[in-house]
Chains A and B, each alone.
Chain A
Amino acid sequence: MISRILVEDVAIRRGERLLFEHLRFTVAAGEAVALTGRNGAGKTSLLRAVAGLLRPAAGVIRFEGVDEAAEARALALHLLGHLDGLKGGRTAWEELRFAALWSGGSEDSAREAAKTLELDRLLGLEVRKLSAGQRRRLALARLIAAPRPVWLLDEPLAPLDAVWRARMGELMATHIAGGGMVLAAVHDPLPLPARTVEIGA
């Protein structure tokens, strides 16, 4: 079980441009952290670096409680980015079921997640026929369909209406109450008590 994520002296460079350096913070189990910063400050890049998809120019990102970062990334991480990886031509259920089985969940947990996000009636639809908000709910359902402690979220609430923003706040609160961690890049405040880390300040 991961007890803490440590971002130590991390610098990220995209092409020639240095986005930030000497960034240091931790996310402990049971904690939500909101990453803020202007457009292009490097929030998305930092999330991708934590997920191991992007190599920092300097510094290390460690996961306390597991032997290797690769193990944490293979078994304990959910990343929800701008690109949701949903295939337009497949049905919502096919996509949710795959994501659940791929990330260590089961068909039952996928069905449970669909119920929680009120997607039951949409499961038979092709993903391309969903509205932006419904599509985002489907992507968020993947977080619940497979229990993984670390949620890396990039603008998770952007297409959601006020009701669903509040509901997501409750779901995140439940997640961290169970020892999970949330690291979310946001422009609006997260709908739950969260520590803020500003990037590029």
Chain B
Amino acid sequence: MKPLLTLLSRELALTWGRGGGALPALAFYAGITTLLPFAVGADTARLAVIAPGFAWLALSLASLLSLERLFERDHEDGTLDLLALGPVALEAVCAIKCLAQWLATGLPLALAAPVAAIALGAPVTLAPLILACALVGGLAFAFVGGLGAALALGSRRGGLLIAVIVLPLFAPPVIFGGGALSEAAAGLPWSAGLALLAAWTAAAVALGPLAMAAACRNAID
């Protein structure tokens, strides 16, 4: 347990070194939220309808931003070798890296999501559900994103490749979360969507590290 905590604190410290922690993702998030009214017009009634779904979609895109460096740096400088020879399995190492990614960028983004939605005119009553979706979904985005990052190891223009690998896998959580949000906005029961989102997250957290570790082993071979 202790080595894992040591690794987690190092990874959290490195997310700042890797590019300012959550700041770029938050700035990107604020930027596209501001751009939306320019694109669809300032009609508040229309904005209010699309605000929750937009805030949710934008969150999934913002969580793509810092993925490229999640494994690439460690692969380039030999850290991955060091981690592979550690006291815990590479699967656990990968899970810790994704967890750190979520804590460093997913969590701040999740806190920003209800703010963005309400700023665009979403009803305040929807804020807790948006936060819940963003917290749970953010974890899935981090683990699925980590899988994309591990698979893209060693390729040139990895960032682009990660987006291509990961975006199809983002479709189910985006649909489940978006479904829950639109049901809730219409006053219908929304728990099914959130439950499905949680199930997807559980699957990503459980299976993602296995695939990530295999991809990392393949890359350092």
Contact = CB atoms under 8 A, between A and B. Distances in A.
Interface of A: 48, 51-55, 73-75, 77-79, 81-87, 89-90, 94, 98-99, 101-104
B78 A81 contact: yes
A89 to B, nearest CB: 4
A53 B6 contact: no
Contact of A90 (B13, B81, B86): B13
A137 to B, nearest CB: 17
Nearest to B75: A83
B87 A75 contact: yes
Interface string B209-221: 0000000000011
B128 interface: no
B142 to A, nearest CB: 21
B43 interface: no
A145 B210 CA distance: 31
A53 B77 contact: no
Chain A interface mostly: loop
Contacts of B78: 81-85
A51 B10 contact: no
Nearest to A101: B6
8 contacts: A53-B221, A74-B85, A74-B88, A79-B85, A81-B81, A94-B13, A98-B6, A98-B10
B2 interface: yes
Contacts of A51: 81, 85
Contact of B221 (A55, A83, A84): A55
Given A53-B220, A86-B77, A102 B82 contact: yes
B118 interface: no
Contacts of B14: 87, 90
Given A87-B17, A101-B6, A74 B221 contact: no
B2 to A, nearest CB: 7
Given A84-B78, A85-B78, A85-B79, A102 B87 contact: yes
B84 interface: yes
A102 B77 contact: no
B172 interface: no
B29 to A, nearest CB: 25
A34 B94 CA distance: 34
Contacts of B81: 48, 51, 53, 79, 81, 83, 85
The 9 closest A-B pairs by CB, nearest first: A83-B78, A85-B78, A85-B79, A89-B17, A85-B82, A101-B6, A98-B10, A102-B86, A53-B220
A89 B80 CA distance: 17
A155 to B, nearest CB: 13
A54 B221 CA distance: 5
Interface in B1-53: 2-3, 6-7, 10, 13-14, 17
B77 A83 contact: yes
